Amino acid sequence: QVQLVESGGGLVQDGASLRLDCAASGGTFRSLAMGWFRQAPGIKEREFLGAISPSGRTYYPDSLKGRFYVFRDNSKSAAYLDLDTLKPEDTAVYSCAASHNDGELVLPRPSAYNYWGQGTQVVVSS
């Protein structure tokens, strides 16, 4: 069983940058694909932000390319999400997830993930 714990969220100003951490334990981290999602207030669906496969290949939705960056450090069993030029509409709960699956068509789907963290809140003030 893999446990995931996110950290790094908080209240930031419009235009700020932020790094979110996802610490993993209880599994073979290097064999897992890691993804990041967010859920905005009042929105039921999780929005895909990016993912990184065990090989290091990254996937992003076109709407967010250039602002959000996913990377991993296998030696620390950790994944990260860099958020750049944050806007008030980026306010959401950000969650990391781990998957035994891989691939461009699979990783954008929340259903592809086997394990989820509890999420960390990001609030962007105007």
Tokens coding 95: 């969650």
CA distance 126 to 59: 29
pLDDT, tens only, 8-58:
999 999 999 999 999 999 989 999 999 999 999 999 999 999 999 999 999
Q: How many residues does the chain have?
A: 126
**DSSP state, 89?**
G
Instruction: Please tell me the distance from the alpha carbon of residue 85 to that of residue 68, in angstroms, as a whole number.
Output: 9
Model confidence pLDDT, tens digit, residues 46-103: 999 999 999 999 999 988 768 999 999 999 999 999 999 999 999 999 999 999 999 9
Which DSSP category does 106 fall into?
Answer: T
Classify 45 in phi/psi space as left (phi over 0), alpha (psi -120 to 50) or beta: beta
Name the token pair of 33. Answer: 């694909």
Residue in 83, 99, 77 with CA at minimum distance from that of residue 33: 99
